[in-house]
Amino acid sequence: MSLITCTRGQYLSQLIFRKISENKSSIFSSIHKYTHGSAVNKNGLLQISQEVEDAMHSRKPIVALESTITTHGMPYPDNVTTAKAVEDIIRQNGSVPATVAVIKGKVYVGLTSSELEWLGSRDGLVKISRRDFPIVLSQGLSGGTTVSGTMLVAHKMGIPIFVTGGIGGVHRGAETSMDISADLTELGRTPVTVVSAGVKSILDIGRTLEYLETQGVCVATFGCSRDFPAFFTSKSGFQSPYNVQTVTSAAGLIESNLQMKTGSGILIAVPIPESFAASGEIIESAIQQAVCEARDQGISGKDVTPFILSRVNVLTKGISLQANIALIKNNAEVGSKIASALNEIQLRGDNSKASTVRPQHEERGEEKQSRPVVVGGVVVDFYAQLGQKCVQSNGATYPGSLRQSIGGVGRNIADCLSHLGSRPLLVSAVGRGSHIGALHDNCQHMDLSGVEELDGRSTAVYCGVLQQCGEMMFGVGDMEIMSHITPSLVSRYSESLSQAPLVCVDGNIPAETIEYICDICSQNKVPVWFEPADIHKALKPYSTSARDHMTYTSPNVAELMQMWAAFRGKSPADVETVSLDTSCVDDVIDACLPYCCELSDSIPVVMVTLGCHGVLLCHRLGDKPVFPTKHKQSYSDDVSVLHYPACSPAQMPTTTVSVSGAGDCFAAGVIDAIVKGHDLDLCIKAGLMAAQYSLQSHHAVPTTILPEAFSSDRVKTWAPWKPRPIKLGSEKKMRY
C-alpha cells in the first residue's frame, strides 16, 4: 500500500490537519513541498491509500466509510466480506471508497484488502468516536471509527459524503440519563452528508428527529415519501422534514449546503429494500427481547448496540444479519451515485468559474482549467507477442508471451489525459458484470461516471498478435457493444459535450453517434478530434454530415489513405500503398503529402503518424498561428506542412517494448497541451513525448506519464529541435 504520511514530527502533523480542510490539491502540494518527495515516514499521523490519493489528485468522487461495522458490528467473516462488497459497489458506481480506521496509532483513509481482513478478524479493538482520538493516537491503539469519528476525518479530508448502516440517536429515557449519541452533535457541527437507513428502532426516534432539528441538521428521506426509516423497517411512524427523489436532487441539496457553509451536516435516510423489509416484524420482536436482556444484564453505553445486534442475529437465525448486509449495500449504491452526481455538479461549477474569473488567461495562452470529453471504446485487451521471428500459418504452437490489460482507443486516450491532469469525462458502454472488476481496478484514477453498464451485453474484447519486435501483425475483436453507444446514450452527457474545451471521438462508435456529437459541438463551437482507430472505421465520418465538423485528426498512413478516398468519393482500391519500412523519410513524406493536403480541406489539422519517422503535420492556416480553440476561427486556403521527427537522436530508444498504445498516447499528449492553451509546436512535441513513454512500456498508457514530467519546460528540454518545413508544389491539388 503506497501511503502519503506526515514527516518532521508534530509540525507536519499540524500542517496536514490545517491544510487538509482547505483545497484538496493544496494538501498534497504542501506535504510534498515540505518533505521533498518523501513517501513514507512511520511517525506520521495520517496515512492515505494510493487509491484515495489518486482520486483526490484527479478529482474523482470519494465516499467515506466507517469501520466499526467491521470491528464491532458483524461476526467474522461476514464483516470482512460485507466491507469488501460495499467498497466494490462504490467503485462500480464511479466513486472511490475511503474506509476510515485507526491502526497502531495512525489514521488510515482507505484500506487494503489485507488491512480490512486484519481489522475484521482481531479482538479487543477500540470503538473510536471523536472523543477517543487523543487516547487512541497517543497510545498507538487500533480500532474502528464510529459515525462521529468517521465524519471528523472525512471533513478534514474534504470528503463530503459518508455511507453507513444506521446512525445513533437519543436513547429512550434520555431525559434522565442524558444518553444521546455523539453522532447527532457531530451532524450539527460537521458539514458531511451521512447516507444511512435512519436510526435503530431501539432508540427514541421522535426525540432523535427533534434533536437533529435543534442541531440545525437537514434530514431528508430518499424516495417518493417522507416516511423516516428505522433501520430494519422502511417506516418508523415518523416523518422526515423533507424528501429527495433522485440522486441528482440529493446532490443539489448537498452542494447548496456546502455553498451556504452552514457548518452542519445532512442526513439522507434510505429505506431498506422492500425484499427485506417484510422481515421487519420478526426482527423488531427480537430487538425488543434483546433490549430487555441487555437491561437485565446491566449492559449500557457503547456496549449496548453490539450486544443487541449480536443477540438479534441469534434470535432471528441470521435473518437480521442478511437484512443488515442488504441495507448497507443499498446505502452504498445510493451514496456512491449521489457522490458521482455531486462531483459532476462541482466540476461544472469549477469550469464555469474558470471561464468567468480568468478570461484574460485565454488571451495570454496560459494554462486553463478544462474538462475535455472522450467518447469511445472500452476494451479488454489480450496481446500475444511472438518469441521468434519466423512463423507460419500451419496450426503450430509458437513460443511467446501473453498479457491482458484494459484498453480501447477512447479509454486509452482518457486514461492518458487523466494521468496528465486534464480530468476528462469518458463516455462509453460495457457489459454489466462483464470484466467490471478489472475495469475499476485498472481505472481507479479515471472518471468513469459516463461509462454505462448495459444488461445482456458483453464488454468489448480485442486480441492482438505482435511480432517479436513489438509491431502489430493483426488483431481480432468482438466489438458488438460499440453499436450500443448510440446518440440516445450519449445525449445524457450533452451538457458536458457543449461545455467542453475539446471533444474526442474514436472510430469504434457508430457513424450516427459521431454525427450527433459533431452536430452538438458545431452548435457550441467546440472543436472535435476524430481518432480513426483503424482503416475500416476511419471512413465513418464521411458517410454523414460529420465530415464538415471535425477540427483535428491523427491517422496513421493507411488510415490517411482511406480517409482521403472517402473524402474524394473514391474506392479504397484507388488508394496507393505506402510502406514505412523504407529508411528514407523523404520518400514517406512525398507519398503522404498530397493526401494530407487535400484532406485538410475537410479537417483543418491533420497529424499523420509515421511510426519511427515521426509526424507529418498538415495545418490549414487560420487567423492565429496556434491550434484552434473553442473560439471560432476562420481559415485561409494556405496550408502549412511540417515534419516532426519521432525524437532527438540522443533520445532514440534502442528497443521498442510495445506499440499498442503509442498512437493513443500521442493523441492524448497533443489534446492535453491544446486544452492547456499551448502553441502548435509544443502540442506536437508533447504528443511525441507521450508516445515515446508508451513505446518503452508493456502498458498502453504507462503510469510514468505525470503532469510534472510534461510541463512545458520538460517538453522543450526533451525536444529542443525545430520541425522541418515541407515545401509544397503541385501536391496540394491532386489530379485524378
Q: What is the pLDDT of residues 440-461, one digit of tens each?
A: 777 888 988 999 988 888 899 8
Supply 388's cell numbers. Answer: 521468434
- For the stretch 181-209, pLDDT in tens is 899 999 999 999 999 999 977 788 999 99
Task: Round to whole Å and give the CA distance between 58 and 94.
Answer: 13
| Percent of the chain whose pLDDT exceeds 90 | 48
Band of pLDDT at residue 370, cut at 50, 70 and 90: low
In degrees and rounded to multiples of 5, residue 505 shows phi and psi of -120, 140
Cell 449480536 belongs to residue: 310
Where are the domains positioned within the chain?
49-345, 366-732
Q: How far is CA 660 from the centre of its chain?
A: 22
Spatial CA neighbour of 618 closest among 547, 674, 526, 552? 552
Band of pLDDT at residue 211, cut at 50, 70 and 90: very high
Cell 471523536 belongs to residue: 130
In the CATH scheme, what is the homologous superfamily, with its name and number, of domain 366-732?
Ribokinase (3.40.1190.20)
Q: What is the pLDDT of residue 637?
A: 60
- For the stretch 549-558, pLDDT in tens is 999 999 999 9
Band of pLDDT at residue 468, cut at 50, 70 and 90: confident
Q: What is the pLDDT of residue 581?
A: 59
Torsion of the alpha carbons at 117, 119, 124 and 128, rounded to the nearest 10: -160
Mean pLDDT of 49-63: 87
Is residue 7 a contact partner of residue 34, using CB atoms and an 8 Å limit?
Answer: yes
Q: Residue length, the chain? A: 736
Spatial CA neighbour of 504 closest among 533, 534, 539, 528? 528
Q: Which residue has the higher pLDDT, 94 or 359?
A: 94
Question: Quick one: which H or E segment has residue 63?
Answer: strand 62-65
Residue 12 has pLDDT above 70, yes or no: no
What DSSP state is assigned to residue 729? S
pTM of the model: 0.51
Q: What contacts 9, CB < 8 A, 6 or more positions away?
A: 43
Cell 467498497 belongs to residue: 87
Task: Round to whole Å and give the CA distance between 323 and 273.
Answer: 9
Task: Look at 149-153, 426-430, 655-659 and tell me which has the smallest mean pLDDT.
Answer: 655-659
Long-range contacts of 418-421 (CB under 8 A, 24+ apart): 418/58, 418/445, 418/446, 418/447, 419/445, 419/701, 419/703, 419/705, 419/706, 419/707, 420/668, 420/669, 420/672, 420/690, 420/705, 420/706, 420/707, 420/710, 421/57, 421/58, 421/672, 421/707
Task: Look at 63-77, 331-345, 698-712 and tell me which has the smallest mean pLDDT.
Answer: 698-712
Task: Look at 136-140, 319-323, 466-470 and tell me which has the smallest mean pLDDT.
Answer: 466-470
Cis bond before residue 306 (omega within 30° of 0):
no
CA angle 474, 476, 479 (to 5 degrees): 135
Spatial CA neighbour of 527 closest among 506, 502, 493, 498? 502
Mean pLDDT of 269-287: 78
Catalytic residues: 66, 200
Q: Strand 379-386 vs strand 400-407: parallel, antiparallel, or unpaired?
A: antiparallel
Q: What is the pLDDT of residue 641?
A: 93
Residue 234 has pLDDT above 70, yes or no: yes
End-to-end CA distance of the chain: 62
Residue 22 has pLDDT above 50, yes or no: no
Q: Which residue has the higher pLDDT, 686 or 624?
A: 686
Residue 89 has pLDDT above 80, yes or no: yes
Is residue 671 a contact partner of residue 417, using CB atoms and an 8 Å limit?
Answer: yes
Q: What is the pLDDT of residue 231?
A: 85
Task: Round to whole Å and give the CA distance between 410 and 93.
Answer: 20
Residue 512 has pLDDT above 90, yes or no: yes
Q: What is the pLDDT of residue 363?
A: 36
Top CATH class of 49-345 equals: alpha beta
Sign (positive/negative) of CA torsion 344, 347, 349, 351? negative
DSSP code string of 236-269: -S-B-SEEE-SHHHHHHHHHHHHHHT-S--EEEE
Spatial CA neighbour of 168 closest among 196, 199, 131? 199
Q: How far is CA 48 from the centre of its chain?
A: 18
Band of pLDDT at residue 653, cut at 50, 70 and 90: low
Task: Round to whole Å and give the CA distance between 513 and 500.
Answer: 17
Highest mean pLDDT among 185-199, 301-315, 563-577: 185-199
Q: How far is CA 145 from the centre of its chain?
A: 27
Task: Please state, rounded to an integer, the average pLDDT across all residues of the chain.
Answer: 83
Mean pLDDT of 658-665: 87
Q: Which amino acid is at 692?
A: Q
- For the stretch 115-162, pLDDT in tens is 999 999 999 999 999 999 999 999 999 999 999 999 999 999 999 999
Q: Which residue has the higher pLDDT, 317 or 509?
A: 509
